[in-house]
Amino acid sequence: MVTVSFHLHRHGIVPGLCAAAIALLLGSAAAAAQLGALELIKLSDRPNDKFRAALLESLGERNILNGTAWAGHGPDFIFAVEAAETPILYVDGRAITKLHRVKGWNLWFCTVRLETGRSHSFHYEIRGRRKGGLRDIPAYLPDSYPQKDVPQGTLSEKFTLHSKIYPRAECDYWIYVPAQYDPAKPAALMVWQDGEKHIARDGPARTLNVIDNLTHKGKIPPMITVFTSPCAVDGNSIRAHMYDHIDNTYARFLRDELLPQVAARYKIRTDAYSRAIAGVSSGALCAFNAAWHMPDQFSRVLSIIGSYVSIAGIEQGGHLYPFKVRKEAVRNIRVWLQDGSGDLENDHGSWPLMNIQLANSLKLRGYDFHFSFGNGSHSPAHGYSELPRAMEWLWRGYDPAKTQEVFVIDPKERKKPFFRVKISNR
Q: In the structure, what pLDDT confidence band is assigned to residue 324 with cuts at 50, 70 and 90?
A: very high
The whole-model pTM stands at 0.91
* Chain segment 187-225, per-residue pLDDT in tens: 999 999 999 999 999 999 999 999 999 999 999 999 999
Neighbouring C-beta atoms of residue 122, cutoff 10 Å: 24
Is 186 within the bounds of a domain?
yes
Last residue of a domain, one of 88, 104, 139: 139
Please tell me whether residues 123 and 160 are part of one structural domain. Answer: no
- Residue 248: which domain range? 143-415
Cα gap 175→23, rounded to integer Å? 50
Element (H, E) at 135: strand 129-139
For residue 374, which phi and psi values (nearest 5 degrees)?
Answer: -115, -150
Cα gap 309→380, rounded to integer Å? 17
Is 394 within the bounds of a domain?
yes
Decide: residue 138, CB within 10 A, 0-12 exposed, 13-18 middle, 19+ buried: buried
User: Residue 190 pairs with which residues in a beta bridge?
Assistant: 225, 276
Cα gap 57→46, rounded to integer Å? 17
Please tell me whether residues 151 and 66 are part of one structural domain. Answer: no
Last residue of a domain, one of 139, 169, 186: 139
The total of structural domains in the chain comes to 2
Nearest to 331 by CA among 230, 218, 407, 410: 407
Q: In the structure, what pLDDT confidence band is assigned to residue 32 with cuts at 50, 70 and 90?
A: low
Cα gap 379→121, rounded to integer Å? 12
Cα gap 249→241, rounded to integer Å? 10
* Chain segment 364-421, per-residue pLDDT in tens: 999 999 999 999 999 999 999 999 999 999 999 999 999 999 999 999 999 999 999 9
Last residue of a domain, one of 105, 139, 173: 139
Q: 228-261: buried (b, 16+ CB within 10 Å) or exposed (e) per residue?
A: bbbbbeeeeebbebbbbbbeeebbebbbebbbee
Decide: residue 130, CB within 10 A, 0-12 exposed, 13-18 middle, 19+ buried: exposed
Is 2 within the bounds of a domain?
no
Distance from the Cα of residue 47 to its chain's centroid: 33
* Chain segment 121-149, per-residue pLDDT in tens: 999 999 999 999 999 999 999 999 999 99
Cα gap 70→40, rounded to integer Å? 10
